[in-house]
Every structure is written in C-alpha cells, then in structure tokens.
Structure 1
Amino acid sequence: MIKKPFLVLTALALGISSAITPVTATAALPTSVNSQPIPSLAPMLEQVTPAVVSIAVEGKHVSKQRLPESFRYFFGPDFPSEQVQERPFRGLGSGVIVDAKKGYIVTNHHVIDGADKISVQLFDGREIDAKLIGSDGMSDIALLQIDKPENLTEVKLANSDKLRVGDFAVAIGNPFGLGQTVTSGIVSALGRSGLNIENFENFIQTDAAINSGNSGGALVNLNGELIGINTAIVGPNGGNVGIGFAIPSNMVKSLTDQILEFGQVKRGILGVQGGELTAELAKTFGYSTNHGAFVNQVMPDSSAEKAGLKAGDIITEVNGNPIRTFSELRAKIATMGAGKALTLGIIRDGKKQTVNVTLKAASENKVKADNLHPSLAGAEFTNTVAGDKVKGVKVSKLDERSIAARYGLQKGDIIIGLNRNKINNLGELRKALEAKPDVLAMEVKRGNNVLYLIIR
C-alpha cells in the first residue's frame, strides 16, 4: 500500500511523449447509431475540466541529525549538538476551483506540505501564484487562493452522502505531470477506512484510474458535480491497479467552511470510545446487521454523556445518513466542526432511538501567522477559549527574534481589533487582512491593558 505522493517525473513525461506515434484520422466517425446519438462524456467534461488545475510546489525539507557527544568533547561545549540539513524539493499535484469569484482552490494537504512557493496552472495555460489559506493534515485537505481571479470556472459540489456503490465516477487530474487527464469508472465502495493513510478516513473507493500527480484532483459524477477529492491509491510501485480513494465532498465542504470561518479546522468531538460492530456483537445487542458503530465507553462530561448515550449503544445514523463503521463515525464527527448540532440514530436494547447532540471542541489547532500576513511572521495564533476573559485571537507562540516580535507582539497577547474592526476569531482576522491594508492598526489586550500596535 502506498500513500500517494506528488511526483516530479519530467524525464518520464518526456519519454512517454517521444514514444507516442500520432494517428491521423482518415474518415469521420459516426455521431449516431440507428438514429440514436452515441453516449459521450465530452459535453459534461467541457464544462468541468476548466475547474481542475495543476499545482507545482517548491520548498525545503529540513532534517536534523544528532551528533556524537565526543564531538563536543573535542571541539568544546559550544559545538552544536545536532546537524541541520536543508534539501530543496519540487512537486506536482492537482487542485479544484470551488469558488471562481474569490479564487479558492481545494487540494490535498500532502501536496502543499512544506511548500514555500505554490504555483497554479489553469486549464487555459495561465500560471498564477497561490497562497495557502489553511490546511488540515489529519484529513489531508488544504485550501488555496489565487489573487485577482479572472475568468475562472468553478465546480459545483454534490451531496456525497447520497452516493451509491455502482454510481459512475470520473477522475480528473495531472498524473505524472503529463497534463490534464480524464479517466472513468464507478464508485466501488463507500466509507473505506483502516487503510493507515490519513488520521480520519472515510474514503470513496473508485476504479477510475488514479496515479501519482492526481492528488488533489476531482472525482465527479455524470452531472459534472464534485463528489470527492482524489487523495490516495493502493498498488505496487505507485501504479494504478483500479483501487483509488477520494475524500467525500461533504467532508471537504465542512473542512473548508471551518478554515474560512475560523482560520483553522475547529474539530468537533463526541466523547465516545468504541469499535467496529461484528456479527456476534450485533446479535448480542439485538441488531440484525453488522453495519454501525459500537460504543463501549462514554467519556465523562462529554457531548455524548450530555445527550444520554450509553455504553452498549450502536450508532447507525448521523443526520439520517447510515453509518457503516466506527471509523466512518469518527471521521464524520471530527470534520463536522465544534458546536455542530446533529441527530444520531442508535439501537439500544434492540430498539431504534434518536438522540440530539451538540459537539464540543477538541483541542485547538494553531495557525502560523505568516500565512495571514508577512509582517506577522514568527507568531502562531489560536482562537481564544472559554477560560479567556475576552474573545479574540491569542498569540500562543512567538519567536523573540521574529518580525512580529520587532513590531511589539508578545506571547499571550489577545488581538481584539484590527483597523477599527472587531476581531473575535481567526476567521474574522483573516477576512480583515484579505483587503491587504497598507498599515495594520492592531488592538491588543495585554493583561489588564489595551494597546495599539502599528504594523506595516
């Protein structure tokens, strides 16, 4: 099993190109048979393919190697204890335009992970630099944005909860750096997990050919709607064997909405521990099939306890959509977002019931401030939590030698305003910075005092 990386295969691409012999058509192909038009995906693809882009990244891999203690004995105590090496890298992947007006592009986290420069090549050949809005490594989703979006095409998102095994699926991406490529197949399975690919797994499995470089590309239905973001394959040496995986579109939408609103994924947590439902367990607890998530423990003071869930319950539905495994439940809950209200269908003592749950927040994620503004480099931000006295954006970490520190930011500061706009969370701060003001008049709560920092 291979986690699908992004690859640079220039030599391979050139080799493939030189080995292809052009074929010249000698006669026009028929457009119909027995007065019936020949089925074709071309009309749909003409509408969708402009929304799928190629992504090129550049960056540096930093590796640290601990040096023997004998070095310090010979060269003195000031000799460094480790050796740091930087290796430049380049990579290719794919992405999908989901908002043409604002220039938002969805791709995989592993495509852009560690990248210092991200370049997007559009279907019409234009190359535009992109910035990272936010990403989530645990679900392998990243959101990019290109400046001054013009003449872009976006793809409409389908409701992936309505997918069925056997539905047709079309994969669009940039395999091996060859350029945009389209393959077709069907939905082979749903709710795939346990693949040890990502932390939260709820994949669509498809036999549409997916190869290295397709990461972040589109999986669409026959209406040209996005049903998933291609992310991984199973196969020897990274080649396609008809087993590919995509992140469902509903999961993608939930994650990107959180990134835009809060500046990060505000992960929800239910507060149960459990496992897969076996046939024996199902029979013991009065359930006729083995589809569902078995709860063997409810955590104290959790959303689950407050909602009345009990050990021995079998969770079969989330908001009316069936749950096949505990891993699928875990992935759906984790990507729905803190504060989300939902309805769970359960089996208890052989009887169907429903319970209403409001998800609590998992531990807060951090956002590097230089992703928001270059003059804030060296700081890390989080949203404030319930224990903080005011709402805003907290400076959770700060390099004292950084640009942000030179402008006067300190660890523990809470940003409550920017250019006379109130700031309650990272999403509001990001939105205020999208206008690219020349001067940042940042209102900061520090201890019992409020002060302004002027940042240029």
Structure 2
Amino acid sequence: MKKPLLVLSALALGISSILTPVTATAALPLTVNNQQMPSLAPMLEQVTPAVVSIAIEGKHVSRQRVPESFRFFFGPDFPTEQVREQPFRGLGSGVVVDAKKGYVVTNHHVIEGADTILVQLSDGREVNAELIGSDKMSDIALLKLEDADNLTEIKIADSDSLRVGDFAVAIGNPFGLGQTVTSGIISALGRSGLNIENFENFIQTDAAINSGNSGGALVNLNGELIGINTAILGPNGGNVGIGFAIPANMVKSLSEQILEFGEVKRGVLGVQGGELTAELAETFGYETNHGAFVSQVLPDSAASEAGLKAGDIITSINGKQIQTFGELRAKIATLGAGKTVTLGVVRDGKEKTFKVTLRESSQAKVKADSLHKGLAGAEFANTTSSDGVKGVKVTNLDERSMAARYGLQKDDIIIGLNRQPIRNLGELRKALDKQPNVLALEVQRDNTVLYLVIR
C-alpha cells in the first residue's frame, strides 16, 4: 500500500475564509434578526499584522570530484573538483514575537540555505532580515528585522494547556497569494513518529494547510500564539485536513536559547525507552497507557543521579501530563541544558516525583564545512576547559582536510577569532557570517595559546 507523502518544504497552515464579507462602512458585527453573529474578525484585526511573509534567495552548491586523468592531461594546476551553483527562491511565513527588537520566528526549512531574506509586513512594507540562529532538528529559526518600526507582536500562550477540540485559527502565506486565514480545531496533541523532524511533539489541526505557509501562526480565539505551522500530511502537497504545528512553549524555549547562546543547548535526561502499551501498563501497575516507559537508565546521567530506574513510567513534566515517549524526548530536548525539571513517575503502581537537572547533549556538534572553506574537515562542539575557559572544541578532524593543512588539530579549543572572543558555536558562526578574508584563530592547545592564520 502506498504511504502518504509528508510534504515539508515551504508549508504552513493556510486559512480558508469562513466570514461573510462586509462593506467598508460596516464596523459593527454582522447581525441576523437583530442578533449579533459570532465573528473572528475583531480578533484577527489585532493579530494578523504580526504574521509576515518571507521570501528568500540562495544558491544550491554541488561539488563533483574531477578524475585524476584530467589532471594528468591538463597539469597539476587543474582544479581537483568542479563546483556548480544553482540559484533558488523560496516563500514562507513568519511571526513577530518581539516588536521592540524586531524578532521574527519561522521554520528552519523556510530559510535554509538563504543568502538573502526579505520580509514583507502586512501593511506592504518590505524589510531585510538577519538570521540570528536556527535549529534544524526542531525546525525553528529566529530572524531579526533590520530598521523596522511600528511592528505588532503576538502574545504567546501556554501550549501545555491546550485540549483536543479547542478552536484554532491558522494564518500564513499559501502559494504566495498573500495573507490568508483558515480555522479548525485541535485534532490531536503530542504527535510524534512522523519522521518530519528529529524532535517531534506536534499539535495536529484540521485547519487548511498549503505550500508557502510554513512558519505561520496557529492561534487560539484570544489571538494568542499556540503553535508555529510546519508541515502537512498529504499525497500531493495539498490540504487534506491533517496539519502539524510546533507547540508555542517549545518555540519560546528554543528562541530564548538561540538568543542567549546563538544555538540550542539541548537538554539530556539519560534514559532509553519507548511507548507505553496497554500490556506494559498492566504489567507495571499503571491503569492507562499514557506516559513514557523507561527501559534503561544510562550510567552517570541526569536520570541516574536523580534516582530514576528501569521500569519507571514517566507521566508528567513540571506537572503537565505527557502522552508518549516521543513527547518526553522532544520536551526534554527543547527545555535546554541546565534546567531543573520535576518528573512525575509511576513505580510499582505508586506515584513518585523526581527533580532532575538536565545535562547538555554531547551530540551538539557542527561540521565546519558550511562555516568556512578553510575549516572544512573539522567538527566542532561547545566546551569548557579545565581552567573554566569557554570556547569551541575541535572534536573530530580529517587529517587530509583543509583545516588540518592550516595546522588545526583535534582537541584544539578556539577561544578567539580576529581579536574577538569566541565562547560558543553561536559566536563563531556569527563572526564568520561577516565573511572575513583572513581568519586569525586564537587557539588553546594543551597549556599554550597560539594563533593560526587561515585564508
């Protein structure tokens, strides 16, 4: 049986009109038989200015290695690889979350590979945007609008308080048509296992979703942001009434981490497990199958330090119930390293609580190939040296790479670039975004500090 296609690129929740048109002179609500009829118009008038359209331009770069026979015939100066650039354009949506500072949240896949990002506001103004940071694994990106004033921001709701059946309204830019609104309900919560992103805890809605709406807003009837639209389930990229949004609480946590660190400092609990079946629940003295079953607690982890054990059933995080192991994984990962959380646990049929301080993921690594050609072949991660110095550590290095030729070594810690302190990957990425012609890397190697010049 053919599986339905998950359409990801440039998608968002669109909105099909449910309102009766009124004339420009009709400022009052629509009335029938002298009774006021319900309308979303007053709420939308306040919210829609906070939803923007995003247009990007970039280049897809492909590299093909040139056969050695070419160099034999054309000489040693003949290039070792052939580089091709293919221009592309894309459309999406975004949401203003801080009007004073000009911050806009969208999806990572909306701006991935973009060289230029142009944001069109609801009043028609066009503003250039700078990428502050993004996280591919959760599909969130944070932009900053340049020289923009008189912005409208959207208030962020507590998405953990959502219930299936709550009304939801989606706002975005489907097919590049311009701002469009659709309505529906919350169809399901805590959706995961869709292989759309690495960390999935989606809100599912039946509000119409179409291409171009990725990064748009899913709001409640109070006009508060409850999610960022990200994907649809459909055979041909069109709406079939199954759309997904990233919960607002996840968006808020990820955005705050990007602002503070330039990246997402992913939290790690240190457990392995799976979904809780009815049979497992009965075996371990639990009455429902809502929760996350812990099959193993990793040694020297946050979970083992807090006292969690294999066979525990985690039922809540900070007092909010969780439905699946996928939801547990996504929420823990996006809460951030260093955060202390309270876990509700059922052990041997009895309810317990544990306070756990999350560790930082050791998998928070970045390949340097996309940062600068002179750093190609190296892999970086944030670190803190034994004497408390923060920087970017070379965790892996291809000995035949360009970075190795310039003298970079495994376990080197980059602490500065062009006389500018570097304390984390976000700062390194931001410094390299300026595209300096020469990199003067300040490197701590063992107990010495040295400079490596990369051109």
3-state DSSP class of the match of 2:101?
coil
After superposition, what is the alpha-carbon deviation per residue over 1:115-155, rounded to whole angstroms, capped at 9, x for unaligned?
A: 11111111111111111111111111111111122111111
Asked whether the equivalents of residues 384 and 391 of structure 2 are also in contact (C-alpha less than 8 Å), the reply is: no
Residue 329 of structure 1 aligns with which residue?
A: 328
Q: Which amino acid in structure 1 is aligned with residue 177 of structure 2?
A: L
Cα drift, residue 194 of structure 1: 1.0
Cα drift, residue 72 of structure 1: 5.9
3-state DSSP class of the match of 1:264?
coil
Asked whether the equivalents of residues 8 and 232 of structure 2 are also in contact (C-alpha less than 8 Å), the reply is: no
Cα drift, residue 414 of structure 1: 3.6
Residue 244 of structure 1 aligns with which residue?
A: 243
Q: Does 1:157 align with 2:165?
A: no
Asked whether the equivalents of residues 10 and 214 of structure 2 are also in contact (C-alpha less than 8 Å), the reply is: no
Q: Which amino acid in structure 2 is aligned with residue 109 of structure 1?
A: H
Cα distance in 2, alignment partners of residues 124 and 149 from structure 1: 12
TM-score normalised to the size of structure 2?
0.82
Mark the runs of 5 or more structure 1 residues left unpaired by the alignment. 9-22, 435-439
Cα distance in 1, alignment partners of residues 280 and 254 from structure 2: 33
Cα distance in 2, alignment partners of residues 147 and 410 from structure 1: 38
Residue 302 of structure 1 aligns with which residue?
A: 301
3-state DSSP class of the match of 1:211?
strand
Residue 37 of structure 2 aligns with which residue?
A: 38
Q: Which amino acid in structure 1 is aligned with residue 171 of structure 2?
A: I
3-state DSSP class of the match of 2:211?
coil
Q: Does 1:193 align with 2:192?
A: yes
After superposition, what is the alpha-carbon deviation per residue over 1:368-405, rounded to whole angstroms, capped at 9, x for unaligned?
A: 99999x9x998999664244534333264999989xx9
Counterpart mapping for 1:123-272 below 5 A: 123-272=122-271
Cα distance in 1, alignment partners of residues 75 and 334 from structure 2: 48
Cα drift, residue 31 of structure 1: 2.6
3-state DSSP class of the match of 2:333?
helix
Residue 17 of structure 1 aligns with which residue?
A: none
3-state DSSP class of the match of 1:385?
strand
Asked whether the equivalents of residues 415 and 423 of structure 1 are also in contact (C-alpha less than 8 Å), the reply is: yes
Cα distance in 2, alignment partners of residues 317 and 448 from structure 1: 46
Asked whether the equivalents of residues 383 and 391 of structure 2 are also in contact (C-alpha less than 8 Å), the reply is: no
Match of 2:391 among 374, 393, 403: 393
Identity %: 70
Q: Please, what is the CA RMSD of the aligned residues?
A: 4.2
Cα distance in 1, alignment partners of residues 368 and 199 from structure 2: 26
Asked whether the equivalents of residues 268 and 337 of structure 2 are also in contact (C-alpha less than 8 Å), the reply is: yes
Asked whether the equivalents of residues 133 and 258 of structure 2 are also in contact (C-alpha less than 8 Å), the reply is: yes
Cα distance in 2, alignment partners of residues 449 and 52 from structure 1: 51
Aligned length: 434
Q: Does 1:415 align with 2:419?
A: no
After superposition, what is the alpha-carbon deviation per residue over 1:225-282, rounded to whole angstroms, capped at 9, x for unaligned?
A: 0000000001120110110000000000111111111110000111111011000110
3-state DSSP class of the match of 2:39?
coil
Cα distance in 1, alignment partners of residues 129 and 321 from structure 2: 38
After superposition, what is the alpha-carbon deviation per residue over 1:162-221, rounded to whole angstroms, capped at 9, x for unaligned?
A: 000011100000001111000000000000011111111100000011111110000000
Cα distance in 2, alignment partners of residues 418 and 201 from structure 1: 39
- By relative contact order (CA 8 Å, sep 6+), the higher-ranking structure is 2
Cα distance in 1, alignment partners of residues 122 and 408 from structure 2: 42
Distance 1:416 1:42, change over 3 A: same
Residue 7 of structure 2 aligns with which residue?
A: 4
Asked whether the equivalents of residues 8 and 196 of structure 2 are also in contact (C-alpha less than 8 Å), the reply is: no
Distance 1:67 1:447, change over 3 A: closer
Cα distance in 1, alignment partners of residues 192 and 425 from structure 2: 31
Q: Which amino acid in structure 2 is aligned with residue 121 of structure 1?
A: Q
TM-score normalised to the size of structure 1?
0.82
3-state DSSP class of the match of 2:383?
coil
Cα distance in 2, alignment partners of residues 5 and 192 from structure 1: 16
